[in-house]
């Protein structure tokens, strides 16, 4: 794919890491290991191509600021897990899928169109901000909230990086 090569050892290493981190945080990778590894191969390909792991099932813009919401795990994973028992790519699944009690159907794209994404980012009011001793940061991937001067380097819940946090209050 466009001259980007990913070797199987690399895929295996990332698979093991993601699987461990997912289980530790209450998430699950797709039990079809080869399917999961194919998606991880796509993620690694994107990481080498763009410098970040854009979702392997979506068309990335190739500009990090525009693709932040689809860097895996994407901002839409948890809502899709709640509603469809799997993320858009089905790399992550819920326990019922893991146990074979539910089959994954087709999952509609939840990501809003570009124009909509650019529009409307509600800003907290100045009055609210000034009454708090510290700003509150929200992880856009899993919703984790913390009150501190700046966002943490890595979300302690879902491992998303600092740039996936937004100022919540």
Q: Is 40 in the site for ligand SF4 (CB under 6 A)?
A: no
Segment interacting with ligand SF4, rule: CB under 6 A, options 4-12, 83-91, 143-151, 160-168: 83-91
Q: Is 14 in the site for ligand SF4 (CB under 6 A)?
A: no
Cβ proximity of 132 and 169 under 8 Å: yes
Closer CB to ligand SF4, 158 or 165, in the complex: 158
Segment interacting with ligand SF4, rule: CB under 6 A, options 69-77, 109-117, 147-155, 161-169: 69-77
Q: Is 73 in the site for ligand SF4 (CB under 6 A)?
A: yes
Provide the token pair at 70. Answer: 């689809």
Q: How far apart are CA 105 and CA 76, in angstroms?
A: 17
Q: Is 88 in the site for ligand SF4 (CB under 6 A)?
A: yes
Provide the token pair at 78. Answer: 């948890």
60-94 b/e with 16+ CB inside 10 Å = b? beeeeeebbbbbbbbbbbbebbeebbbbbbbbbbb
Q: For the purposes of burial, counting CB atoms within 10 Å of the CB of 161, is it exposed (0-12), middle (13-18) or buried (19 or more)?
A: middle
Provide the mask over 96-135, with x wherever binding to ligand SF4 is found by CB under 6 A and - wherever it is not: ----------------------------------------
Provide the β-strand partners of residue 54. 71
Q: Is 89 in the site for ligand SF4 (CB under 6 A)?
A: yes
Query: Residues 52, 92, 137, 165: which binds ligand SF4 (CB under 6 A)?
Result: 92
Residues interacting with ligand SF4, by CB under 6 A? 39, 55, 57, 70, 72-74, 77, 87-89, 91-92
């Amino acid at each position: 794919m466009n001259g980007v090569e990913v070797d199987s050892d690399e895929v295996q290493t990332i698979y093991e890491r993601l699987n461990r981190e997912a289980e530790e945080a209450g998430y699950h990778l797709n039990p079809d290991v080869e399917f999961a590894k194919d998606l991880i191969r796509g993620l690694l390909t994107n990481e080498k191509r763009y410098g970040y792991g854009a979702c392997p099932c979506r068309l990335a813009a190739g500009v990090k600021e525009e693709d932040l919401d689809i860097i895996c795990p994407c901002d839409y994973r948890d809502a899709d897990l709640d509603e469809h028992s799997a993320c858009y790519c089905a790399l992550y699944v819920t326990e019922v899928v893991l146990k074979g009690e539910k089959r994954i159907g087709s999952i509609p794209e939840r990501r809003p169109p570009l124009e909509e994404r650019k529009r409307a980012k509600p800003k907290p009011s100045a009055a609210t901000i000034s009454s708090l001793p510290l700003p509150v940061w929200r992880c856009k991937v899993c919703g984790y909230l913390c009150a501190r001067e700046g966002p943490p380097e890595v979300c302690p819940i879902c491992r998303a990086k600092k740039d996936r946090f937004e100022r919540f209050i």
